Amino acid sequence: MSITSASICAAADRLQGFVGYNRKTSQYILRFSEDAFGLDVPQQSIIPSCEFVWQAFDGDLMRLERSRLQLLFAQNIDERLNISEPLRLYMRRQDLPEITAQRSLLKGREQAETL
């Protein structure tokens, strides 16, 4: 199976769980329910993991951030997060630039279209 930037983007969009910013510890934390964070994590900072790894880049473009993926990889719960081989390859290939994509709504789901 050939791994393409499109398959990496699709794998990022399948990530599970939620990430929130803990004000008390100044760190991002991961949970698998929006209700599991506690008072030190503002509700507006809680986002799905599949959105957390994408950062606004330039206009309508977004970048698949390796540093944010690394926060999820560091949890060592790949199966529960749904981390698949395309994302593992993306993290190993530090010699390649981060993927920049235009993401748009398609059939009720966000999809990534690689540029």
Per-residue pLDDT tens over the stretch 61-75: 999 999 999 999 999
Strand, helix or coil at 4? coil
User: Is residue 64 assigned to a domain?
Assistant: yes
pLDDT greater than 60 at residue 115? no
CA angle 67, 71, 75 (to 5 degrees): 155
pLDDT greater than 70 at residue 55? yes
Which tokens sit at 108?
A: 């009720």
User: Is residue 53 assigned to a domain?
Assistant: yes
Q: How many domains does the chain have?
A: 1
pLDDT, tens digit, 9 for 90 and up, residues 4-52? 999 999 999 999 999 999 999 999 999 999 889 988 999 999 999 999 9
Radius of gyration over alpha carbons of the chain, in Å? Answer: 14
User: Is residue 29 assigned to a domain?
Assistant: no
The predicted structure's pLDDT at residue 1: 61
Residue 53: give its domain's CATH number: 3.90.1650.10
pTM for the predicted model, two decimal places:
0.84
Which tokens sit at 57?
A: 């880049």
